[in-house]
Structure 1
């Protein structure tokens, strides 16, 4: 498998940085189905969305683009570290805009896949851009719900008041408050009394050589997080989510909520063709890169995209 091709393309008022994965026997004179692969919150294109899912899908014959979110990684946009769901979903639309300019991409066979927060963003993008013909959510997390609940300690109004005060201070020249979503290490997390499976496994993935990448910052600009508070990834899913949908998650729940979010979107989606895969004995972060859970996921992903793309 050759290395992905680094590309850039226009977003709103900045450039998106992306990696383009091509099939092993790629021929620019052929037409290929294409897939957009969206990374988790606090992640980057070189992590699970790229080096696991995009790379595997390219081996199976797809043209795949894995991109850095706006304001994050190598993509443009200021200030840095904004995690705004509306813009994150727009990023997926811009990735499709890029794909349809490629002469070897069949615009009628474009799919989308996302991991963690990227999974729920993918569902929302499919609802609002029907150029996406089939969508896959891998251990998807609804960031709006997570912000209203765990990330705000179930006090969303108090959190928004604090964000507003911080944004006012920054507008007047104060230093920006960039928060790290995770402890510095698993040991530090346990020492601080953290017991949640997802937080500790996320730390083991992002803060060690297992998954750590230079652009995977696991950081967010606190003062701009209010943009997620009133957002819901699954709003209008009953009406707008009509494309084929595959939802994959493990049955060992953690604090980020993929277990509940996966069941919710499966129940609510208006898709006539939809499938929920709950993998026994699998956790959220094992689906990022662990061989056996990923293999089980692809047992469903491969025939799904083959059928609908």
Structure 2
């Protein structure tokens, strides 16, 4: 069962979908906030995971990030890591107001770039009781150093110069400078998901404002990842993912309890939607959340929370 919802984040109205188990229960539900990849929208891989988690007995909230999808914000398509983290915290706030949700049993799941944003938000939002990622990406690292850290240092400088020029031009009244960033030349697997019927959505991966770049480059997903402890951290990767090193290094930096779960044969994007890889990922996530979002707090009804 799913319901369209809205909530505020930094005075912007975000559009979401709340997935609930089909079988009603008298007890308040454990819930998971699910963040979508950079440039993606709630209807894509985030909804695949949310719907499956709902089948396992969890409430799951997906939403379009500010400036993206059906959510408010100008300029359209802006990728602001700090706002993305605020969106996750605002999604948690929204769940705490719902009568069917146990506000003491809220976890979060980040997919791709949200696999950086969710841990970043959870570092300082103690309401997130269990933190998980699938095919995590640190967009800041990728923009600074390239995927696999293969980028030549002058490239980052050139991106910052583009962002600076765009800000100046827009301040002088020019239209927002935009850039295509999901291209076959950049990453053929990601292109195939977003640009073909496999995962295409008309509101996804629009050309982003160039001044997204300076916001992203200054951002570090895992700088204070140890602050998640003593809450649990689970990071799921495919054995063949070109981003696997990001989760491996994040786990090394994190404090216990922590787990790196590897799906044999999986790639970064196959974990988005390929059943043979999504199924074991959801099984591990369900067990993880069932273990760490365990304490029920009575039946749903009039709220007594302050």
CA contact (8 A) 2:190 2:269 kept: yes
Q: Residue 301 of structure 1 aligns with which residue? A: 285
2:107 matches 1:122: no
Out of 248, 269, 275, the residue aligned to residue 285 of structure 1 is 269
Return 5+ residue gaps in structure 1 as ranges. Answer: 184-188
Q: 1:6 aligns with which of 4, 17, 23?
A: 4
Give the drift of 1:278: 1.9
* RMSD of aligned Cα (Å): 1.6
| Structure 1 residues 241 and 144: alpha-carbon distance in aligned structure 2, compared to 1, 3 A threshold | farther
Q: Deviations over 1:116-148 (max 9, x none)?
A: 001111111111101000011100000110111
Large movers: runs of 4+ above 6 Å: none
Distance 1:26 1:143 in 2: 39
Residues 1:205 and 2:185 are matched in the alignment: no
Matched, 1:181 2:169: no
Give the whole-Å Cα distance in 2 for the aligned partners of 1:296 and 1:132: 23
In the alignment, what sits opposite 1:236? 224
- Distance in 1 of aligned mates of 2:212 and 2:82: 12
1:221-275 residue CA offsets vs partner (Å, 9 max, x unmatched) = 1123201112100011134443101110112142xxx2111101111112x2211
Alignment of 1:262 with 2:247, yes or no, is: yes
Contact 2:124 2:227 in 1 (8 A): no
Residue 30 of structure 1 and its aligned partner are, at CA, apart by 2.8
Once the two structures are superposed, residues 267-297 of structure 1 have per-residue CA deviations (whole angstroms, 9 ceiling, x without a partner) of 1112x22110122221100000000011121
What is aligned with 1:186? none
Q: Is the alpha carbon distance of 1:245 and 1:235 closer, same or farther for their aligned partners in structure 2, counting shifts above 3 Å?
A: same
- TM score, norm. by length of structure 2: 0.90
Residue among 94, 100, 104 paired with 1:104: 100
Q: How many residues align?
A: 289
Partner residue, 2:44:
47
TM-score (norm 1): 0.89
